[in-house]
């Protein structure tokens, strides 16, 4: 193949990149094997930089040369500056290859609980570089075995990171992780993108976003819909609040952990819809526990009840997932009672702020609160059945077979 043919074949791809028809992933930030539209690394440490009409090539000695560009309508080479020879053409080839294989983005991941650990593992599997921190260091070992760098502090984890993903328990933990002296905002570099997947109040989210903005750090609240199975299988749905441009930068990271990202509005919108979602989930779990308790007490065959309820008007992924756990008394946590009770409390505070009554949520929260106070807080939300049915009162404990309480 001649030199002119080679260049003609390369031109449309260069034009597509300049038009932005390929996914934008930020300046040189992509998982290994991805495509970036910005800075790419050349052999010997030189870089390519975008310029009008093409890319500038640096030959490794600080000398700039104008890359050959192609008129895609005529497939003719444009004039190159005097003195360009085979060496320059080889450098152009290396430059184009570097643009297609940028350095992988570095992600600081904070919080390796039941949800966070598989999310971080999926980022590693996607080719990202992961720097992990967890308050209990032992939980980080499986990630270290997969190639993550385990850090001793939040400040160490965010050093050199392009993105920070955090998923911790509540507002209090988020305040410490994000706004503490050793936290993300004080130690991340300007331009870093924070993706906070914790379930927080919108008020907390906006406080962190404002502090981040003051230091030139971008922030998204991106809590998730889904539990442990969805986290493992990259089936999470991210409910995102923040700037649309920041979400565009974060999409490759989110796509490595979930199946969908929904932009819900400005800062705090993701947190708001997450609380609404969990209010519905908590209410359905409480209603299911009450319904099954009555059905079984009335002598209905449990397996028949399961079949009818799953196929009836109220049948859903929730009933198909939670009824088997209730009938087998397997309350290994996918989402804990204690966390659900916290989210219902946050929802009630939000309803009060916007002056809306929430009597159903008040009743549901009371049921989960009673279960938590009875010592069931670490069980799966389906374990609220033990409170609704009175089993815990009858047995004096959770009534859970050994090894089933997680």
Domains of the chain, by residue range, sit at 3-100, 106-267, 274-395
Instruction: Tell me the C-alpha distance between 86 and 225, whole Å.
Output: 55
Please tell me whether residue 136 adopts helix, strand or coil conformation.
coil
Do 306 and 324 meet the contact criterion of CB atoms below 8 Å apart?
yes
pLDDT of residue 93: 52
Q: Single out the catalytic residue among 274, 322, 325, 342.
A: 274
Please tell me whether residue 161 adopts helix, strand or coil conformation.
coil
Question: The domain 274-395 is classified under which CATH number: 3.40.50.720, 1.10.1040.10, 1.10.630.10, 3.40.190.10?
Answer: 1.10.1040.10
Residues 6+ apart with CB under 8 A from 188: 108, 158, 161, 164, 194, 215, 217
Instruction: Tell me the C-alpha distance between 142 and 377, whole Å.
Output: 26
Q: Structure pTM? A: 0.74
Query: How confident is the model over 8-36, as a mean pLDDT?
Result: 43
Do 118 and 231 meet the contact criterion of CB atoms below 8 Å apart?
yes
Instruction: Tell me the C-alpha distance between 257 and 249, whole Å.
Output: 15
Q: Is 251 a catalytic residue?
A: no
Query: Token pair for residue 47?
Result: 């870089």
Above 60 in pLDDT, residue 10?
no
pLDDT of residue 99: 53
Least confident span in 26-30, 102-106, 344-348:
26-30
Query: How confident is the model over 320-347, as a mean pLDDT?
Result: 97
**Which top CATH class is 106-267?**
alpha beta
58 Cα distance to chain centroid: 36
- In terms of phi and psi (left: phi > 0; alpha: psi -120 to 50; beta: otherwise), the region of 9 is alpha
Above 90 in pLDDT, residue 404?
no
pLDDT of residue 23: 41
By CB atoms closer than 10 A (0-12, 13-18, 19+), residue 222 is buried
Above 50 in pLDDT, residue 77?
no
Please tell me whether residue 260 adopts helix, strand or coil conformation.
strand
């Amino acid at each position: 193949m001649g030199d002119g043919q080679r260049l003609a074949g390369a031109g449309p791809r260069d034009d597509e990149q300049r038009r932005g028809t390929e996914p934008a992933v930020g300046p040189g930030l992509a998982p290994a094997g991805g495509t970036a539209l910005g800075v790419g690394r050349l052999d010997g440490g030189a870089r390519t930089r975008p310029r009008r009409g093409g890319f500038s090539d640096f030959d490794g000695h600080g000398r700039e040369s104008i890359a050959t560009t192609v008129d895609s309508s005529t497939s003719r080479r444009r004039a190159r500056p005097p003195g360009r020879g085979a060496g320059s053409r080889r450098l152009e080839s290396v430059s184009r290859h570097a643009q297609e294989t940028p350095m992988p983005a570095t992600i600081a991941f904070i919080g390796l609980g039941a949800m966070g650990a598989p999310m971080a593992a999926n980022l590693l599997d996607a080719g990202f570089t992961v720097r992990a921190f967890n308050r209990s260091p032992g939980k980080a070992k499986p990630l270290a075995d997969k190639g993550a760098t385990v850090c001793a502090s939040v400040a160490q984890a965010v050093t050199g990171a392009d993105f920070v993903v955090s998923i911790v328990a509540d507002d209090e933990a988020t305040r410490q992780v994000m706004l503490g002296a050793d936290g993300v905002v004080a130690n991340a570099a300007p331009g870093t993108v924070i993706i906070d997947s914790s379930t927080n109040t919108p008020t907390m989210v906006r406080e962190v976003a404002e502090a981040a903005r003051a230091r030139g750090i971008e922030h998204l609240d991106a809590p998730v819909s889904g539990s442990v199975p969805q986290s493992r299988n990259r089936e999470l749905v991210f409910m995102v609040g923040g700037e649309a441009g920041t979400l565009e930068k974060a999409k490759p990271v989110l796509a490595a952990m979930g199946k969908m990202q929904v932009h819900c509005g400005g800062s705090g919108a993701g947190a708001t819809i997450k609380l609404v979602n969990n209010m519905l989930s908590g209410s359905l779990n409480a209603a299911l526990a009450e319904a099954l308790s009555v059905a079984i007490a009335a002598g209905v065959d449990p397996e028949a009840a399961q079949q009818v309820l799953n196929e009836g008007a109220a049948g859903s992924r929730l009933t198909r997932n939670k009824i088997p756990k209730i009938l087998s008394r397997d309350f290994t946590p996918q989402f804990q009672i204690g966390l659900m009770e916290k989210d219902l409390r946050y929802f009630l505070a939000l309803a009060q702020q916007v002056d809306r009554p929430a009597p159903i949520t008040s009743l549901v929260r009371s049921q989960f609160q009673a279960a938590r106070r009875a010592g069931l807080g670490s069980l799966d939300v389906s374990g609220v059945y033990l409170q609704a049915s009175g089993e815990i009162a009858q047995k004096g404990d959770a009534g859970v077979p050994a090894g089933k309480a997680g």
